[in-house]
Each structure stands twice: as C-alpha cells, then as structure tokens.
Amino acid sequence: MSVRRALLGPQNRTLWFWVFVGPFAVGLGLFTYVPLAWSVYLGFFDAHNTVSPTDFVGLDNYAAMLRDDAFTSSLGTFVLFSAFIVPTTYALSLALALMVNRIRFMQAFFRSVFFLPTACSYVVASLIWKMSIFNGVRFGLANTVLDRLGLDQVAWLSTTHPPWYWLVIVTVRLWLQAGFFMVLFLAGLQRIAPQLYEAAAVDGARPGWQVFRHITFPQLRATSVAVVLLLVINAFQAFDEFYNLLSDARGYPPYARPPLVYLYYTALGQGQNLGLGSAGAVILALIIAVVTVGQARWFGLGRKED
C-alpha cells in the first residue's frame, strides 16, 4: 500500500474528511482549547495587567477566590437564577412542543415562529427589553400596560426591593431559549410509537392528562434529562442579560451579579487581575462539570429504557 493511499484512504475519503472538518477543528483548537489551556496557566501566576506573567504563586489565586465572599455569593445568584429559569423554560418548552405537535394546520409555520427568537442575539434582546419594554419610564410598554390597568408604574431595573429586575432577566431568557428546547421536545414526541397511544385507547385511557402522565411524559424521559442538563449549564453561563440589563454590576448587591459578571470585572475591571479571574473561571468550569456529571448519573442519562 502506497503512502499516498494510506494517508488519503480509499477514494480520497480521508482527504475530503479533513477538507470539511479541518477548518472547524482548527477554529475549535485556536479559539476554545488554547484559551482554556492559557486560562489554566494564568491561574497559577500573579497576572496583573498582563497575559504573560512570570511571578508563580501556585494555588494562591484559587484559595483567594474560594475565600472571596463576592464570588461565593455570585454562585448563590446562579442558584436563584436556576430556580427561576430552569422550571419555567422546561414547562413552557414542553407545552409549546405538545401544542405544535398536535396542530395539523401550518405546523411548520408555528414551529418556525416559536424557534425564531433563538436566532436573536442575547445582547440585542436584552437592550430591547431594557429600552423598549421594561425601561421604567411612563412610556415604556410594560408601564403603559400597567397604567391602562390602573396600577402603579414600576422601576423595573432598580435593585431595590421588590427586585423586579428578576422578572426582566427571566422573561428575556425565556423568550430567547424556549423555542430551542421546544424543538428538542418535538423530536422526542415524534419518536414515541403511535401504537402506545392506540393501546392506551383500547385500554380505556382518556385523552389528555391521563395519556400524558402515563405514556407521553415517561417516554420523554431521556429528552427531559438532556433539556434539564442544558438549562442548568446555560444558567451557569448567564452573562449578557445581567451585564446589559444591570449595566453597573459592580455597584449592585451580590445577589444581582452572577459568576461570569463578577469574573469579568475581576479580570477586566480596574484591577485587571487576570490570574485571579482565570482561577475563578477554572473553578466555575469544574463546578459545571461536577454538576453536569452528577445530574447525568442521578437521572441515568444514557441508560437503556426498560
């Protein structure tokens, strides 16, 4: 066998594989894995205002980050944000999927309409929510509706109590991501064998809640686990809506600042402590990995169905 044939494979299949996969692999390595490795490297150095430090400090940055009350409280913000966004997105996405799956007229149209917000930038959506809908002035859409209903107007993005900004943050993310998870649930619904519903009808099961509880929902178990895992990971990575809606996060109370916003100001704020920020990013990545693996094992992701 010639060297050329060994490298390119039969019918040049190996060559065409690298033609299509190579650019993506190069981009993934340069813009994902190299920055990740460099972030781990910076975490072991005193890196103030530089990305090429020389003062090795070992695990001091990691210890300092774990002792930082602001960082630990930002993790509490994630827990609170997850408590809002995970169940609401799950319920809304599943409801939309069930509705679209039952529609027999213009199903593709409604599927596209609900999925369309996924293509919108988080930054753009956040600015629309902030400047047009929940801007807090009397002519904002939300306050106009309240005024028509005879209710008092609200300063939506104020961090005083009650914290109305949570409604703004949750609704913008809900609008952006519900369509994507709806598509995942739709794929799961279309994999359910019609014979199960026919057998249930023969056994006297009533359409609606009874069929959903005993057939549809159990058959969506694998999809539900994947959706919950993705929602939790997305909640960990919350940044755009908090940064753009609450623009001056440094002056806000800790419960209005998620981990990525705190790390952003640590690494790129006035102090520009890239070593400390990198250590925090590595800790956050490890937490995400542990939570994801723990959830997967708890829910039995990948386990064969009975």
CA distances from 28 to 1, 23, 236, 282, 295 (A): 33, 8, 21, 19, 26
214 — pLDDT class (breaks 50, 70, 90): confident
CA distance 68 to 42: 18
Task: State the pLDDT at residue 175.
Answer: 93
Mean pLDDT of all residues in 2-20: 63
Q: Residue 46: is its pLDDT beyond 60? A: yes
Cβ atoms within 10 Å, residue 25: 10
Task: State the pLDDT at residue 249.
Answer: 42
Q: Is residue 15 part of a domain?
A: no
Number of structural domains in the chain: 1
Q: Is residue 36 part of a domain?
A: no
203: left (phi over 0), alpha (psi -120 to 50) or beta: alpha
178 — pLDDT class (breaks 50, 70, 90): very high
Q: Is residue 1 part of a domain?
A: no
Mean pLDDT of all residues in 121-138: 86
pTM of the predicted protein model: 0.81
- Which amino acid is residue 171, in one-letter code? T
250 — pLDDT class (breaks 50, 70, 90): very low
Q: What CATH number is associated with residue 246?
A: 1.10.3720.10
Instruction: Give the structural domain span for 144.
Output: 43-299
Mean pLDDT of all residues in 291-304: 74
Average pLDDT of the chain to the nearest whole number: 83
